[in-house]
Amino acid sequence: MILVILGYALFEYSLNNTPFSHDGIHNSIRQSLDEGSGFFNEYTNDLVQSAEHIAELTDQALASGSGRLSLFEQIKGLDLWGITIYKNGNKWFWKDYVISMPVSAGQLSGISVRNLNNVQILVHQQILHFNDDTYTIFAAKRLSQTTDLPFIREGDFNLNTMHRDRGYFQIYYNFFGTIPSDALYRTLYSPASDSIGTVWATYEDIQAYVSAIKENQQLWRLIFQVFIALVFFFFLIVLSNQTEQLYFSVIQLLFIIMMWPLLLYSGLLEYWLSMIPDGAVNREFEALFEFARYVVNTLFLFLVLVSVHNLLSVTQKPLKNESYFRIIGLSILFGTLSLLLIHFFLHATESLLINSSISLMDLELAPDVESFLFYIFSGLFFTASSGIILTTGYHLCLSEQDKTKIIAPISLISFFTAYYVIEFVIGSHLILNWTLGLKTILFLLFIMIVHFFHRYPEVYTDMSGFRKLMISVLIASTTIYIIIWNTNNDRIDRDLLEEVAEFTQEHEISTREILFELLSDTEQDFLQFSNLTPSDQIFRIQTQFQRTVQNNIRQNWGNYAFHIRLLTSNGNELSSYSTTLDTPTWSSYFNINIMLGAYSGEQIRWQTNRPVIWGQRPANLSERYTSFDRGWIPIYNLYNETEIILWVAGDVYRERPDYNKPLRAVLSADTPDDWRKSFYLAEFREQRVTRSTIKGIYRNQPQYNRLPELENDIALQDSVIFFTNITADGNFREVLVRDGNTIIKASTPVPEINHHLFSFFRLQIVLIFFGLFCFSLLAMSGFNHYSLFGQNRKFRDRLIDGLTLATILFLTVLIFATQYAVNIQNEKNVQRDLIQTLNSISESLKERNIFSATADAAEILTDITATVNADLILYRESTVQQSTTPQIFTQYLLPAAISYPAYDFLYNLERTHFLTTARIGDEEMVIGYRSVSDAEGNIAGVLAIPTFTHSPVYSEQLLETTSYLFVVYLFIFALFIGGSVFLSNQLTKPLKVIQSGLNQISRGDMKTKVAVTSRDEIGSLANAYNNMVQRLDHAQKELMKAERESAWKEMAQQVAHEIKNPLTPMKLNLQHLQRRLESEPGNVEELKEIIEKTTSNIIDQIESLNKIASDFSKFARPIHEPKKNGDLTALIKSVAELYEHDTTANIKVNMPKKVVIAPIVEDELRRALINLVKNALEAAQNGNVKIQIRLKKRNDHATIQVKDNGKGIQENDRDKIFLPKFSTKSSGTGLGLAITKKIVEAHDGDIWFESGKGQGTSFFIRLPLA
């Protein structure tokens, strides 16, 4: 992190110490011009090489006689704008756009530049001679292309920007016209050293150059800062996991809480977003800042989760006291915190969805970038907020072990209290709504999870990471989708109101002012050509006119259609410019007499020249044109103020897109989302419809000529009313908007249940695969409890998890494979329908003799397309004669020549049909060709229909089919999972029985057998188990018999040995007394002393025998009395007090201040402790005895530690330390520690020891508390 910060500091230092100088900018201009000139040379050389390759392939094809179709296959991969080959002056071969032969003979070969309407091309011409024929080969590459058509606007081509890297100065290529007088330039030359243009730059673009450099610097600054933020984010996470100090955890949490609002409200986030370059973010994603806030909240909430977890882990100390004030306060705080976190998540997610246009209800299998990011960060947001709730709840239960039952009710009461307080503060008076239900369900679910895992922690520790992931994804995805479901109606209502507002304003928007400004600007810009007659420079006039009109159309006029024409004084068209594909027929007719009469009537002269806007609409103007104006303005001769030499005439109108025609549906839509829209809008006055329209694809919305009485009554009650209309054709969300005497009704379909199931599945799949990725990374990083399958201890669980994962993967692949197969079938259906439509229309064209000289082809095609859902193209020979979408060809979006393979199949091979593909912008389409014969059976022309395989209608059908199939697959998936669980239970049930039997065997029961229910491997295992049980039972009986005999023998030897020890001195004493009595019977006084001493010795030995008997009795039955609650602290003190006068023993006692109560038999437990103390005393070295007795209370048990400073227990003696008759001393029975162990176990406790060589020994006794 330090290195990153240092790198950023150096970056900022270099930026601040690199000023822009005049010499530096001048050098940049020169460098950019040199780069531009070099790039053009490379561009030209590439064209020359391609053209020479074409000539070589053509020569080979002519020599081999392989034919033109073979030549087409060889050169179809070349990246050229167009290829045309003329044989003896006649068109012989072509690919893509046809390049015409020059009017004048000119040069035989070389490079030239041509200007074709909106396209400038670089043309290479080459001559090839073969036999007696001359072949002229033309190859061309684009230099520039512009169009105002909305669907292709982002695909404009410009050589200026092809080579330009960020930071280079803006340059311009010029092949026609003049350059500014102050421009710096380089002349562009052809390979023959002929001048063909210039590349130039001007100092006027300095500001743009500086802005471009600063934009680049801003981008790198953004990358540095975001990278530092991410590094710091992960640094805090790693640091949080590695520290266990309380003060650091508190400081870290406070730092995160302080930085969170600082980033959100200091303007830093807006600053970062402002540094994102234009176009880097999808323009359809409208709520960038809202989403950025959502992401920031998610990341900081995760930091809070990690910090809170570490803080609670450090401060976690289980308490047990009689006061309830603490647990009540903590429970209230927990309930309030839970509500705030759940409310925060729901509100932030709901707000983001309502205020954005993220596509969540579409039926695309792969979500777009915005939807994918929302899925990921909403899942992380929910995980972080729920993780804080679960972590705090779990640690609350751990800290208050004895009062967990009251946590849930108190938390629930505080939860609802906080909810209604928040609702009151924000001014919402909804007592019950869907958010309350969802919040309550989530909180109750979290409470249940906390208490369940607190009571059964082993369930969580034994659960696999995959199962944790699936449970988390199920809860998260269900919660998120409930929010999506409920906010969807709000989004639909918002869209309905927007459509109503646009529908209302259609008649209010004036095209009159737009047309007036456009005609005025065009006339002013075109005055420089008024001294030229049309015959002088017709080509230059046409080109300049189109560019002038294009430059004068303002960006905010993008919703309007323009058709502007340049006419001669007698009404002939010189040039035209249109922004629509389908220019209306009525837009081509202008009456010069009416135009002159309007000017004469208004007494307009050269000095007062202005446009005339004609207010009369064409007859029978369709409802699809929502607004319309037409007008004209003359251009006078500068040298003769009374002579009109040109007219600029045009129409401006607004047309509703026709989404029911496959081609226009795609090309008329600004975005793919427009395809999926379906709005029915109608205006009613006095309950009668006055106008209506369908926006998008019609989806069976109810349409009325008269507004139903019920809806009319509803509309009169309020100005805006939303409701859902349930019909046999589906459910529709509708709105009634009343404005005075006018009622506007809007309707759109509501997503069906299959849409919701599909969207829910897509959300789950994204979260599952993202979770698998994250869990795998965490497992590889050392967090083993996130291992996908490593935690499972049961075979059944591993089997179910594996089958579930395999089923999810299989279902995902199946869905994608199904859509691919349906898509292929859909394309075949499109091609079949296309051929049927071509056959039908061709018959109509034959009947109407469309190719005759007297036929009006435009009118015939218009009549046919009025009833047929298709766009038509009519070819005569190889060139377009007429089309319902002429702008495709005039704007050079499609070649005006028929595809050569189609021409060859239809004309040369005389096939009737041919299908090929083409592209317009980023959209791929299919073009179907059908030859049309005349009365004699000869091919008179070719009919073509272009259509898109992914047009709105077909796309929706495909997605609908996929969604229905998905529902079926989902049902099968559920059955498969259920069957997997059932089969796994059936498979593992015999294993469970065998496991239970093995457990009973381990407890000593050798008679448990299992039923053999099959003859498979499981049945063989059961048979083997039963045989093993039978043999073990027999072996156990034999072993028990042998052990009893061995035990009696060993016990007899031990008892005999222990009794023999005191009996031997007794015998010797008695024999000594007998000898004295026999030798000195009269010496009574001396014998009396001997008798007393002998009697005392015998009594001692009898006591020793009694002690031996007592030890054996205690070992057999360590406790005789019932257990009672006793004070362990007092008991330990009493044991220590027994040795307080022993000068060789130094005993220290360490106990809690409060009493520790446990169910004990006080005398027996005291004896066990005395045994441990005695062992410690005997283990001391050199008489320096130090003994520590500690008592600790942990949760539900107490631990007693007796530690000495002896030499420790030898390694080879540790396994035998609690065995009876084992002792490291020369005296005693060896039953002391064995009896101590028996006493502790009789108290339901455990005893163990820890010892190190030369470090002493510690014995531990753990006892359950009362």
Quick check: 929 and 915 in contact, CB under 8 A?
yes
Q: What is the pLDDT of residue 1227?
A: 47
DSSP string, 1197-1262: EEEEEEEE-S----GGGGGGTTSTT--SSSSS-S-HHHHHHHHHHHTT-EEEEEEETTTEEEEEEE
Could you tell me if 53 and 128 are in contact, meaning their C-beta atoms sit under 8 angstroms apart?
A: no
User: Which has the minimum average pLDDT: 144-158, 511-525, 1157-1171?
Assistant: 144-158
Among 737-741, 813-817, 936-940, top mean pLDDT goes to 737-741
Nearest by Cα to 357 from 619, 10, 674, 710? 674
**DSSP assignment of 275-332, as one string?**
TSPTTSS-TT---HHHHHHHHHHHHHHHHHHHHHHHHHHHH---B--S--HHHHHHHH
Q: How far apart are CA 644 and CA 46, in angstroms?
A: 48
**Contacts by 14-21, CB closer than 8 A, 24 or more apart:** 15/217, 20/210, 20/213
pLDDT at 188: 92
Which pLDDT belongs to residue 35? 87
Q: How far apart are CA 386 and CA 396, in angstroms?
A: 15
Residue 619 has pLDDT above 60, yes or no: no
Q: What confidence tier does 155 reach under pLDDT thresholds 50, 70, 90?
A: low
Measured CA to CA, the distance from residue 951 to residue 829 in angstroms comes to 13
- The answer to whether residue 493 scores a pLDDT higher than 60 is yes
Q: Determine contact, residues 1225/1176, Cβ cutoff 8 Å.
A: no
More confident of the two residues 1211 and 392: 392
Higher pLDDT: 1121 or 1057? It is 1121
Give the least confident one: 291-305, 523-537, 1085-1099. Answer: 523-537
User: For residue 959, what pLDDT is reported?
Assistant: 64
1017-1079 and 1084-1116 helices, crossing angle to 10°? 170
Structure-token match 């073009």, residue found: 927
Structure tokens at 545: 């006119």
Beta strands 1145-1150 and 1185-1194, pairing class: parallel
- Rounded to whole angstroms, the Cα distance separating 944 from 927 reads 7
SS3 state of residue 668: coil
Q: State the Cα–Cα distance between residues 1162 and 675, nearest whole angstrom.
A: 87
**Spatial contact of 1025 and 999, defined as CB atoms under 8 Å apart:** no
Quick one: average pLDDT of 208-223?
Answer: 74
The pLDDT score that the predictor gives to residue 139 is 95
The pLDDT score that the predictor gives to residue 292 is 86
Residue 922: how many other CB atoms lie within 10 Å: 10
pLDDT at 166: 46
Q: For residue 403, is pLDDT > 80?
A: no
pLDDT above 70 (res 413) = yes
Q: Which residue has the higher pLDDT, 39 or 814?
A: 39
> Per-residue pLDDT averaged across 61-75, rounded?
91
Alpha-carbon span 837 to 941, nearest angstrom: 17
- Looking at the chain, the whole-number percentage of residues with pLDDT higher than 70 is 75
DSSP type of residue 553? S
Confidence at 303, pLDDT banded by 50, 70, 90: confident
In this prediction, residue 768 carries a pLDDT of 92
What is the structure's pLDDT at 1013? 65
Mean pLDDT of 1129-1157: 83
Tell me the C-alpha distance between 148 and 550, whole Å. 7
pLDDT at residue 390 in the model: 93
275 and 220 Cβ atoms separated by less than 8 Å: no
**Taking the mean position of all CA atoms in its chain, how far away is CA 1020?**
50
If you compute the radius of gyration of the chain from its CA atoms, what whole number of angstroms results? 48
- pLDDT tens digits along 1026-1042: 777 777 777 777 777 77
pLDDT tens track for 223-258: 777 777 777 766 766 665 565 566 666 777 787 888
Angle in degrees, 0-180, between the axes of helices 325-354 and 288-315, rounded to the nearest 10: 160
Closest CA to 276 of 263, 260, 292, 264: 292
Q: CB of 1101 within 8 A of CB of 1062?
A: yes
Average confidence (pLDDT) over 623-645: 78
- The H or E element that residue 546 is part of is helix 538-552
**Average pLDDT of the residues in 659-680:** 61
**Which is more confidently placed, 864 or 1243?**
1243
Residue pLDDT, tens place only, 577-616: 877 655 665 555 677 777 777 777 666 777 778 888 876 6
DSSP conformation letters of 116-154: ETTEEEEEEEEEEEETTEEEEEEEEEEEEE----TTTGG
How many angstroms separate the CA atoms of 28 and 212, rounded?
Answer: 13
**Beta carbons within 10 angstroms of residue 833's beta carbon:** 17
d(CA 1250, CA 1254): 12
Q: Quick: pLDDT tens for 1043-1052.
A: 666 656 665 6
Averaged pLDDT, 499-510: 73
Contact 1208, 1257 (CB under 8 A): yes
Distance CA 411, CA 346 (A): 20
Is the pLDDT reported for residue 782 higher than 70?
Answer: yes
Placement of tokens 């179907």 in the chain: 928
Give SS3 for 184.
strand
Higher pLDDT, 1106 or 666: 1106
Could you tell me if 269 and 263 are in contact, meaning their C-beta atoms sit under 8 angstroms apart?
A: yes
Q: According to the per-residue pLDDT averaged within each range, which of 591-605, 879-893, 962-976 is highest?
A: 879-893
Please give the pLDDT value at position 1142: 72
- Confirm if 838 and 914 have CB atoms less than 8 A apart: no
The CA distance from 998 to 995, in Å, is: 5
What is the sign, positive or negative, of the torsion defined by CA atoms of 964, 969, 975, 978? negative
* pTM of this structure: 0.67
Give the pLDDT score at 454.
85
Q: For 929-965, write each residue's pLDDT tens digit.
A: 999 887 777 888 899 988 876 655 566 666 667 667 7
In this prediction, residue 535 has a pLDDT band, given cuts at 50, 70 and 90, of very low
Kindly report the average pLDDT of the chain as a whole number: 79
Give the separation between CA 494 and CA 325, rounded to whole angstroms. 50
Q: Quick check: 375 and 367 in contact, CB under 8 A? A: yes
Give buried/exposed letters for 930-969 (b at 16+ CB in 10 A, else e).
Answer: bbbeeeeeeebbbbbbbbbbbbbbbbbebbebbbebbeeb
Element holding 600 (H helix, E strand): helix 592-601
Are residues 1112 and 1231 in contact, defined by beta-carbon separation less than 8 angstroms? yes
Task: Specify the pLDDT at position 283.
Answer: 44
Bridge partners, residue 573, by sequence: 567
Are 1010 and 1021 in contact by the 8 Å Cβ rule? The answer is no
- Residue 80 tokens read as 């050229």
Q: Average pLDDT, stretch 263-274?
A: 73
Tokens 């990246």 appear where?
Answer: 79
pLDDT at res. 11: 75
**Over residues 1213-1220, mean pLDDT:** 73
Q: Which of 714, 794, 1249 is nearest to 987 (CA)?
A: 794
| Alpha carbon distance 179, 183 (integer Å) | 7
What pLDDT is recorded for position 536?
45
For the chain, the residue count is 1266
In order of 58, 74, 123, 140, 899, the CA distances from 53 in angstroms are 9, 10, 15, 13, 21
Average pLDDT score over residue span 671-691: 79
The predicted structure's pLDDT at residue 640 = 76
Confidence class for position 52, pLDDT limits 50, 70, 90: very high
pLDDT surpassing 50 at residue 1226:
no
Higher pLDDT, 1130 or 934: 1130
Coil/strand/helix, residue 1074: helix
**Predicted local distance difference test score (pLDDT) of residue 790:** 66
pLDDT of residue 981: 72
- Provide the pLDDT confidence category of residue 756 given band limits of 50, 70 and 90: confident
Burial grade of 999 (CB within 10 A; 0-12, 13-18, 19 or more): exposed
